Structure 1
Amino acid sequence: MVPQHGILLAMGLISDHFGPLVAKVCDCLLRHGALQLPEIVRRLKLPPGQVKNSLLVLIQHNCVQAFSSTRGVTLYLAIFDNVLHRLRFSKFISVIRADIPESEALIEGLLQNGRLTFDQLVGRTISKVPEGTIRPAREEIRMNFNRLVYARYVERCPKPEPSFDPLGDEQPTSARRRVLKTAEEVLSLEQKVFNTATLSGLERFSEIPYSMEDASKTNDCPHNAVVGAKRKHGAFEVDEELNSTIAETEVLWRVNFEKFIFCLKKKVCCCYHSYYG
C-alpha cells in the first residue's frame, strides 16, 4: 500500500485544494485500495451524497479513476501519483512557458479545473483577457490548443468507467496472500486500471479538426476570402465539421502528466551532464 508519510502528504494537498471532506474520501481509497461507493460510505460513516460529490471532485481533477468489474460493480481507485503531481503545477507551467508560451493560459486552465471541453477553455481564455485588450479569435485559440495536443502536453480524457477485473490476471492464491498484497501488486493494479482506461495513441492525441466556421472569425482572414473559399460540402466535409463540433463541445481534455514528468526528468539530466560533464 501507499506508505503512511505518502498518505499524509497527499491528504494535506487534497485538503488544501478541495477541503477536508474530499480529503477523507481520498484517504480512505489510498489506505484500502479500490472500493465501491457503499463500502466508502460504511467506512467513513458519511452521507452517500457527500461521498459521491467528493468522488466526482476527485475524478474531475484526475485523482481517482472509476472502473467496472466483470460483475458489473463500480469501484473507485485513487491515483496516488496524480495527487502528488499537484505539487509540480508551477513547474509544468514553466515548461510550457519555455516551449509554447502562447498556450500558457490553456494549460493553466486545465491544471486549475482538471478536465474541460475546448469550448470551456475558449470561454475561460477570453474571460481572462484584460479590458481594452484585443481578444484572441477562436481559431487562434484552437491553433494554440492543437500545438499542445501535437506536443502531447494535453490529451483526451480516458474512458470514464472501463471494464476491468482486478483478480482476472492473478494466479490462484491463498486468502492470506490476497489480503496481504505487496506494494508492487498495488501499483500493478493502479497501472492495469490506468492502461485499461487510456485511449489508443491515435485517439488520445487526436487534434481538433479544422473548421471553416472558425476560420471566418479570425482577424487576419477577410470574410470575403473565406466565403469565396467555401464549396458545396460533400460527405467528407460534413463529417469533418461534425468531428470538429464534437471535439470542441463534447470531448473532455486534460493535462498529460507523463509528458511533463518526462520533460522535467530530461531537464535534470541535462543540468547534471552540464555540471559534471
Structure 2
Amino acid sequence: MHTYQDQTTLNKINRIALAAGDIILSHYAQTNRAIEIKLDQSPVTAADKAANEYIVKELQILFPDIPVVAEESPLPEWPIRKNWQLFWLVDPLDGTKEYITRNGQFTVNIALIYNQLPILGVVYAPVLRELFCGTAILGSFRQQIPTGTSHSIEENLNLTRIEAKPPEKGQPIIIIASRSHLNPETEAYIASLKQSFEANQTYEILNVGSSLKFCRLAQGQAHVYPRLSPTMEWDTAAGHAIAIFAGAYLFSHPNRTQPFVYNKLNLTNGDFVVSVLQI
C-alpha cells in the first residue's frame, strides 16, 4: 500500500509529534506533577492526557477516515475494530516512568497500521530533541531538532537516513535492555545469547528507556534488543516500524513462526526480539 507512506504524510505526523512533545515539556517543567495509577497499575500523568488529546484531535482533522487507537482514549470495542484494515496507533507518552524520574528517555509514538503491520512510524524524544521516523517505502530517518525550532516548519526538517547494521570486526555487540523493565527472563536470554557468540566476541549492555530502544538499534548504535516482558501494541508499533525500515528484523520469542501483529483482540504483545544479527 503506497498511500500514506509519502514524505508529505510523514511530515504531517512529524509535526504532530513535535507539537505533542512541546505539550509534554510544558508539564515536565512543573515541579508539582500529579500522578494517577490506572487499573493496570501503570502510572498516568496530565502530560499523557494532554498529549493524547492533541494527537488524536490532529489525526482526526487531517485523516478523518482513518480511526485512531490511543493509550489514553477509550478502546473501541472489538466488533467495531476487528475488521479495520488501516488505523493509527498512538502512545502519547511512552516511558511514563522515565518521565516521572526525569531521566529524559521518554517518547511520543505514532504509527500507522495496515493489515496488522506498521507501514509508518514516528518516535520523538522531547527532552533529547531526537526525532526518528520512517515508512516502508522511504526507509528510516533521524533528526536532531535544534532548540527553539518551531514544529510548524516541518517542510524544512533535515532528515538523515539511518541504517541498522552489525558491529564492525573487532567491535563489541551491543545488547539493549530496558531501563525500567529488566526481568529475570530477559537476563537469562541475554546470558544464553552471550554463549552463542564466538569465543573472542565482546559485548556490552546498553540500558535505554521507552521506544528509544528500537531507535538506537535502527541507527546502528546497538544490535540486539530482547523484550521478554509485557508491552502493549501502542508501546511498540512506531519503534517496530523504524527498526525494520532501517534494516533490522523483529521476531516473536520463543516461537519465531508466531506472527507479531497489531489490532488483536487483546492488545498485549507477546515476547519478541529485534536484531540485526543472525541469531
Q: TM-score range by the shorter chain?
A: under 0.3
**Higher RCO (C-alpha 8 Å, min separation 6):** 1
More strand by proportion, 1 or 2? 2
TM-score by length of 1: 0.26
TM-score by length of 2: 0.26
The structure with the largest alpha-carbon Rg is 1
More helix by proportion, 1 or 2? 1
